Structure 1
Amino acid sequence: MKVLIVSDSHGLEHELQTIAERHEKDVDLSIHCGDSELDPSHPALASYLTVKGNCDFYGDFKDEIVVPVGSRKLFFTHGHLYGIKQSLLNVYYRAAELEADIICFGHSHIAGSELMDGKLLINPGSIRLPRVRRDKTYAILSIDTDNTSVRFYDTDGREIESLANHYQLPSDS
């Protein structure tokens, strides 16, 4: 199973549609981790399950969404309600409450992934205003029975190999 993950597009329309079209045959699910600054009915968001960010003032986005991805459970939120710029513990604990294995969030605009006590945390970065690195990024999560990988891409679709990671999540039995 593959999941396309974007965040912090801050008003971009064409880029969201281009990314969705580029990967429409490759992914099973597309999510937007907030701060789209678009109305939920906007065509650029049609391909994405989207949560509310701190800059989303239009419509009724949910603050968080939990979805099954294969035999795993993915929890995604923007991150501002969990103080992710200070610590990842609050979002980690929320995922534990929800019995989620994978946590996706944005807000900091910093691309990266890490395994934290058996839970995979992914921030796709920002396709508009990246921080720490110049690349405007999004991510694709690939979940296999035993292995999970996270790959990052710039808005032109070029893979950023230095950000790629492979993980072995704990058994889901």
Structure 2
Amino acid sequence: MKIGVLSDTHRIKKCIDEAIPYLKECDLIIHAGDNFEDSKYLYSMTGIGTMAVKGNCDFENVEEELEIDIVDKKIFLCHGDNYGVKYGIKELESKAKKVGADIVIFGHTHTPLCLEKDNILYINPGSVSLPRGVNYRSFVILNIEDNQVSVEKMKL
């Protein structure tokens, strides 16, 4: 399964539009918040099922966290602000272990991260709109096949 992973798009459609050709090749799109409305836009532009959570800049009455089972992998999805991710992932690590996650997807920092620790893969796709800490805009293509996970970092 091929999953497009974005976060912190902040309603800047011209930037989101640059990622759409790559996302159209995915089986699923996951959006880690800021802005939830962009997940609806992504669906309207691609026709691909989209899952999303609420970020700190969102006001919709939607879930702040999701646990998703995909191809024998458990994904924990959140924006990250409730876990202090701007100061590290220690709180997020604790939550990941508590829920038995194989993969954690989060955003909030606008800075891409791909880190494996204690057999858990932590992914922050960065931002296609407003990157921080790097000089490029980014998202991720996550591939899960035959119990193997690979991450393709996409730069715009």
TM-score range (shorter-chain normalised) is 0.7 to 0.9
One-letter amino acid of the counterpart of residue 43, structure 1? Y
For residues 53-72 of structure 1, the aligned pairs below 5 Å read: 53-57=55-59, 59-72=60-73
TM-score of the aligned structures, taking structure 1 as reference length: 0.79
1:94 equivalent in structure 2: 95
Question: Would the aligned equivalents of 2:141 and 2:153 in 1 still touch at CA under 8 Å?
Answer: yes
Question: Would the aligned equivalents of 1:14 and 1:44 in 2 still touch at CA under 8 Å?
Answer: no
One-letter amino acid of the counterpart of residue 5, structure 1? V
Q: Which runs of 5+ in 1 are unaligned?
A: 156-173
1:103-153 CA distance string (max 9 Å, x none):
000001111201011100000001111111111000011123353211111
CA apart distance, 1:23:
2.5
1:35 equivalent in structure 2: 34
Work out the CA distance in 2 between the residues paired with 1:139 and 1:39: 16
1:73 equivalent in structure 2: 74
Q: How many residues in Structure 1 have an aligned counterpart in Structure 2? A: 152
TM-score of the aligned structures, taking structure 2 as reference length: 0.87
Higher relative contact order (CA 8 A, sep 6+): 2
Distance 1:146 1:70, change over 3 A: closer
Q: Which runs of 5+ in 2 are unaligned?
A: none
- Of stretches 120-129 and 84-93 in structure 1, the one that deviates more from structure 2 is 84-93
What percent identity do the matched residue pairs reach?
33
Question: Which has more helix, going by share of residues?
Answer: 2
> Is 1:115 aligned to residue 116 of structure 2?
yes
CA apart distance, 1:17:
4.8
1:22 equivalent in structure 2: 22
Work out the CA distance in 2 between the residues paired with 1:54 and 1:45: 21
